[in-house]
Structure 1
Amino acid sequence: MRFVLATALVLALVAATCNAAITKDQVTSLPGWDKALPSKHYSGYLPVGNGKGFLHYWFIESEKNPSTAPVVVWLNGGPGSSSLVGLLTENGQFQTNDNSLDEHGNITLLYNPYSWSTIANMLYVEQPKGVGFSYCAEGVDCVNTDESVGEEFADFLDGFFNGFSEYKKNDFYITGESYAGIYIPEILKAVDARGNLNLKGAAIGDGCIGNEVSTCGFQNQADRIAVEFYYGHGMYPQTLYPKIKDACGNFTKETQQCRAALSEMNRKIGNFDIYNVYDQCGSDQVTVSDIYRQLREAREFTTTGSQAFAVHPQLQKGVAGALNDYACGAEKVMGMWLSKPDVQKALHVDHQGRQQYRRTAADLRPLYKTLAQKYRILIYSGSVDACVPYWGSEEWTRELGFPEKEAWRPWTSPSSDEPNQEIQAGYVTTYNAGQHNFTFLTVSGAGHLVPQHKPAQALTMFKRFLNNQPF
């Protein structure tokens, strides 16, 4: 009987998706915002995996020409981080932070003038199943792998574009950060195989490329990248660098001498925010050895659903803020707002997820190389992100072996302080991947959450990427 009811529910949801998704999912108002919404919003659930799971999405139409603007997915990483983190603290139409709170604890949503929805139709999806407000069907073991993410997200997109069929002809992109560097190529592979969308490319910030390589492998090569990053940022003395190199060699194996040298490095570095080494909010002061010890154990993560959203393991303390750049408290206030019953009612959500995640993708560089020859791909990094440092991302993008189309150079962007003044925003290298550009770009002064730390530069980057313009 339970299976029959579950099947009926799936069929009903699919039918609703095809015929009335816009009507039933439209968000007409949001607590904390007392004016008309700047553009149309939709929030609801779509089934994936033959009804095994239901993914929560929040779709925000572009503020300019939504009928012709591209449709862009945004995904946070983790695994287990809600993409509402991106919406409400990074590039969404509204933001939360300490400035949202008054002395009585009331929360006001803050309009984000650098929202990516100013130029694109933005689709934020809490995935995989069991993350955030997304959930699994009753009686289903809520287990995800890197490969299942791709197929089930392709299911989600089929349902979404059935319900919002007027957007199926629009250019389509997938963007995200951190562990989304693993999600996105798996999704691109699945979408490419189905061949039913106007897929143009992907942009990935501070991204992982596999669970056994580079920084996110949390092995010896992650230590090698960290040594170079911290040395380049002047976080330990010059005299220690050759000592580490002598003790660790090429970091191919772990030795007692190497561990001792790295321990000395960590002591001299001290405490800092691994997501932004210049952060001063003070809510996530940890050592790199602490972080790597917590994550190195890992081939499986579990989120319990004890909050209305699940964040990346390194963000559990609610890190936000940066040196003189942006307000603290972004995720703290986000959690407060999303836990309000009237907010959940406005967003049509009534579940809190619980999932198990198995990190199964070892090395995705060969897949990246294949995809880059079919789609336009941008890899970008915040220059002060110590979680997935630019040093490692520059290395692996170069070592894919594509010929340089344009060598490393500065790129510029309007400043958030002086919109009519161009400032140096970072550095960019462009490779020729056949029919498409493959690009590596840094954003100076940004940490792991580039759109939060440097919103004006992030919007410029995003706009030029969508328009296939030089950076």
Structure 2
Amino acid sequence: MHAEINGAPIEAQVKQFPGFHGDLLSKHYAGYITVGTELNKRHLHYHFVASERNPIKDPVTFFINGGPGCSAYAAIVHNIGPFKIDETVFRVKDPIRVKRHPYSWSKVSSLLFVDSPVGAGYSYAENEEDYVSDDSITVADLYAFLNKWFSEYSEFISNPFYIAGSSYSGVHVPLLAQEIVNGIYIYIYTHTHCNGAIDIHFENNYVVPFAYRMGFISDEQYNDLATSCGSLYWNNEHPDCKRNMEIFRGFIKGIYEYHVLCLPCYFKMGLSMEDAQYDSMDSIQSLHGESEYDMYCHDYEINPRRLFDTRTARELLHAMPEEITGPFERCSKRIKYSRNIFNLTPYHLNLTSKGYRTFFYNGDHDMRMPYIATLDWIKSLNYTEIEKWHPWFVGDQIAGYAVRFTNNLLFATLRGGGHTPFESMPRETLEAYQRWIDGADSL
């Protein structure tokens, strides 16, 4: 029995999710919020999933997907949403099937997703120039979006509010949080990052130390790099450093940076790391032509496109036709995006100093955004450690390690997790998130 959500627009209710056969476990709503000016209208598509626990009291988690430019629906069927693409059997001619995700964050929180920036997923602009974007433009649109969304769904204004994100959206989360605090339009409760961008120096400079810790290079190589680069491995023009970095890149060339234990595109981003059953790649190519993806990438890149780029899916999710939005892609190639805010430290300092709770967590097998980069960056804030490095558990198993700092800041690793650990460690990330939103200061 779904709890009543009285303020939501009736026409926005989603009665059926594409590829899923069964009853939805809570109320879903989807549609557009228009931002921008009269001459430059930008239509942001959203999907709202009410909490399966108690939507009247549970938090609203606003999840911003990474990329930049990856659709919210990639997060819904690959990350924290209530569905998973069923990959137990894959046949090119069959429609994509969707199953329930047993570790969805909707178990404990309402989830609000948005296709952002404009041009991602089902979002679209009326002027081609609006597909040129950057961090400032994206965050301004997200802030305007939230103001309008809460006007339509006003009964959720009093709920605890969280902003969460992963990967590149680590840029957007603190910027948006700061905008909200400045505006005080809605009550922001806290924010959380998963392997998120923090500071371009830390993001790029910790690949070498991480690779050394993982045993990818020898003591001698690491010492040569440290000596020649002076511990500055990124953007260093010293000839000896450049030469040693070239050698280093040769040693990690075949390693999948998003999860170092997996072959490139082999990791299925699902509930397990088991092989799916595929038709031969020959049959895929005979139907669809030569593909830029190999068979191991097929489910992650092409299946969402097959699922959501149909007239039926658009009708179910209240999205505009392809003629208006363009074809659906997991991560849009239409957007011309540039990063214009490279250091998030001032924003985090401002927010944490005001008492807003923050939770950073990293998969410990991610070389794209190594956990040691996030941890050392946090230490650069000069906050005091309240709880030193210690294991945290799910059941009797060590799920990772955590450190707690003053100013309501918590850091944790997910043991065995990659760049987006909720894909490889869904139970553990849900457990960590639930403990934290339910008020635990430590794991």
TM-score norm. by structure 1 comes to 0.80
Say whether residues 1:443 and 2:414 are aligned partners. yes
CA contact (8 A) 1:96 1:330 kept: no
- The one-letter code sitting in structure 1 at the alignment partner of 2:52 is E
User: Greater CA deviation, 387-396 or 147-156?
Assistant: 147-156
In the TM superposition, what is the alpha-carbon distance from 1:140 to its structure 2 partner?
A: 5.1
Q: Deviations over 1:288-338 (max 9, x none)?
A: xxxxxxxxxxxxxxxxxxxxxxxxxxxx959989xxxxxx83343222211
**For 2:342 and 2:294, how far apart are their aligned partners in 1?**
29
What letter matches 1:47 in structure 2? Answer: T
Do the aligned residues in 1 keep the contact of 2:86 with 2:97 (CA within 8 Å)?
Answer: no
1:15 corresponds in structure 2 to: none
Aligned partner of 1:427 in structure 2 is 401
Are the aligned partners of 1:150 and 1:189 in contact in 2 as well (CA < 8 Å)? no
Whether contact under 8 Å (1:44, 1:349) holds in the other structure is: yes
After superposition, residues 18-57 of structure 1 pair within 5 angstroms as 22-50=9-37, 52-57=41-46
SS at match of 2:9: helix
What does residue 137 of structure 1 align with?
126
* Structure 1 position 389, deviation (Å): 0.9
Partner AA of 1:393 in structure 2? T
SS in 1 for 2:130: coil
Give unpaired runs (5+ residues) of structure 2: 1-5, 268-291, 327-331
> In the alignment, which residue of structure 1 is the partner of 2:274?
none
Q: Does 1:345 align with 2:320?
A: no
Which residue in 1 is equivalent to 2:335? 355
In the TM superposition, residue 46 of structure 1 has moved relative to its aligned partner by 0.2
Amino acid at match of 1:384: H
> 1:363-378 alignment to 2 at 5 Å?
363-374=343-354, 375-378=356-359
CA pair 423-241 structure 1, distance change in 2 beyond 3 A? same
Alignment-derived partner of residue 287 in structure 2: none
Report the equivalent of 1:387. 368
Q: 1:395 to 1:169 in 2, by over 3 A?
A: same
Separation of aligned partners in 2, 1:370 and 1:90 = 29
Is the 1:94–1:109 contact (alpha carbons within 8 Å) kept by the matching residues of 2?
Answer: yes
> Aligned runs of 1:283-362 on 2, under 5 Å?
283=266, 329-350=299-320, 351-352=325-326, 354-362=334-342
Tell whether 2:409 aligns with 1:467: no
Aligned to 2:277: none
Q: Is the 8 A contact 1:89 1:97 kept in 2?
A: no
> 2:282 matched to which residue of 1?
none
Instruction: Name the structure 2 match of 1:291.
Output: none
Aligned length: 398
Deviates more, 1:141-150 or 1:126-135: 141-150
Residue 136 of structure 2 corresponds to residue 147 of structure 1: yes
Residues of 1 paired with 2:380 and 2:108: CA distance? 33
Worse overlay, 51-60 or 119-128: 51-60
The alpha carbon displacement at 1:406 in A equals: 1.2
Q: Which stretch has the larger CA shift, 149-158 or 183-192? A: 149-158
CA offset at residue 120 of structure 1? 0.6
Q: Matches of 1:37 and 1:204 in 2, distance apart? A: 28
Tell me the equivalent position of 2:278: none
Mapping of residues 154-173 of structure 1, within 5 Å: 154-173=143-162
3-state SS, counterpart of residue 77 of structure 1: coil
- Paired residue for 1:410, among 370, 374, 391? 391
TM-score (norm 2): 0.85
Give the match for residue 453 of structure 1.
424
The one-letter amino acid paired with 2:422 is: P
Equivalent residue in structure 1 for 2:259, among 262, 276, 289: 276
Displacement of 1:196: 2.0
Between 1:390-399 and 1:21-30, the stretch displaced more is 21-30
CA distance in 1, matches of 2:264, 2:248: 24
In the alignment, structure 1 segments of 5+ residues that lack a partner are 1-18, 216-221, 285-315, 322-327, 414-420
The 3 A distance-change label for structure 1 pair 41 and 250 is same
Greater mean deviation of Cα atoms: 103-112 or 113-122: 103-112
